[in-house]
Amino acid sequence: MKCSCIIPAFGRDVNVVEETLLSLFSLEEEFFSNCTQIFLIDQNITPLKIDLKLATWPKKYLERIDYTLYCGKCKSVQLNLENSENSENSNNKIKFLHIISLPPSTTIAKNYAIALAEGELLLFFDDDVLIQKGTIDSHIKIQQEYSNAGFVCGREIIDPPERGRSNFREFLAALMENFISNEKKRLQESEYIAERYVGRVTKQSFFLCDFNQDINGNGNGNGNRNGNRVIKINTIRGCNASLKRAIFEKSGGFDENFQGTALREESDLCLRLEKMGYTNYYTDKALVIHRRQLGGCNNLSKSYTSLISKYECELLFQSKHFKDKSFIFFFIRLLPLTMENFIRTWGISAILLLQFVYAFFKLQRH
């Protein structure tokens, strides 16, 4: 099963992006024997100047890479790389797509790259992750083993840890889990969850997620020692995921109405795949170290524009999938975002909360 890697890039330091690409190349045969393409979709106004220090790489790998720079829909420009033109395997290409869309949009970027993709399997990575050994093999194995697989999501270890979920969100997540204890019991019986929720959007529209779970006993001694367990989920973390291209095309792709931060665009597609009869899975054997560097479409800047974008995306997601639910659930779901930004925005986040909850209430009335 040949793969195409999809990596949107925006606002990162070029060294961060290079390290992500180098982590892929460091997989050596695991990468080169499975991946026919990498699409790095550069949405910066000034194109990234990628320097992968190619002289340090073994010749047997360099000869299998054809570097081509694609600038939007303009003609391609061939970069200088010794032996690339005489490569024995010219199908292996790393394509740098420079797309300037205003404002930057990860949904547009990914849809655009996937339209050009040739691989049967799409691998999605963020531009600030370090892909670990076995990750690509694990994605391929599960996608082949489970014919009904939609998204397969891998494990995410956030480093440094302080860039992970805040104590306040942990507290609210615990409250929400108690609030839906009956649903949790049903899901446990169906083996949807491990020790904690992995990736779950509940019937009340609450998000309860922990994508750093050792379910196969790989890291901390917990989990299943057989090493082949997967968990059914209905939302993913897009920094480490895979999806068959044929299924992606059937789904209609990412909804480009999710703009700006594009918050919930992957969850939206997960739920749509579930309605189509596919099952989304989590495996801890596909592992990335997520450094959550400054930049990216999910934290364009700590600005009111970014904050409003998050509320707009939350409203779109709620209206598409949970329009029949009480606006109170929507209020509770937006509360962590509001409280975390309350002091920084001089209380304006609370006004935005009321504004968007009222907007959802009006949608329900029509």
- Strands 199-201 vs 3-9: parallel, antiparallel or unpaired: unpaired
Q: What is the pLDDT of residue 80?
A: 37
Query: In sequence order, what are the beta bridge partners of 37?
Result: 4, 93
- Comparing C-alpha atoms, which of 79, 109, 97 is closest to residue 38? 97
Report how far residue 210's alpha carbon sits from residue 208's, in angstroms, rounded to the nearest whole number.
7
Q: What is the pLDDT of residue 296?
A: 56
Report how far residue 120's alpha carbon sits from residue 162's, in angstroms, rounded to the nearest whole number.
37
Q: Sketch out the chain's domains with CATH numbers.
A: 3-290 (3.90.550.10), 304-365 (no CATH)
Q: What is the pLDDT of residue 1?
A: 87
Report how far residue 344's alpha carbon sits from residue 354's, in angstroms, rounded to the nearest whole number.
17
Angle 77-108-89 from CA coordinates, rounded to 5° = 40
Report how far residue 131's alpha carbon sits from residue 40's, in angstroms, rounded to the nearest whole number.
15
Residue 225 buriedness (CB in 10 A; 0-12 / 13-18 / 19+) = exposed
Q: What is the pLDDT of residue 18?
A: 86
Q: What is the pLDDT of residue 309?
A: 92
Q: What is the pLDDT of residue 66?
A: 58
Q: What is the pLDDT of residue 232?
A: 92
Report how far residue 213's alpha carbon sits from residue 156's, in angstroms, rounded to the nearest whole number.
9
Contact 255, 265 (CB under 8 A): yes
Tokens of 25: 């190349």
Query: In sequence order, what are the beta bridge partners of 40?
Result: 7, 96
Contact 96, 266 (CB under 8 A): no
> How confident is the prediction along the chain (366 residues), in pLDDT tens digits per residue?
899 999 998 888 888 888 998 899 889 889 988 988 888 888 887 777 777 665 566 666 666 655 555 554 433 333 333 333 333 444 445 666 767 666 778 899 899 889 988 899 999 999 999 999 999 999 999 999 999 999 999 999 988 666 556 666 666 666 666 666 666 666 654 455 555 788 989 888 989 888 998 888 765 444 444 567 899 999 999 999 999 999 999 999 999 999 988 999 999 999 999 999 999 999 999 999 998 765 554 444 457 888 999 999 999 999 999 999 999 999 989 988 898 888 888 899 999 999 999 999 999 987
Q: What is the pLDDT of residue 237?
A: 92
| Max CA pair span of the chain | 65
Contact 17, 40 (CB under 8 A): yes
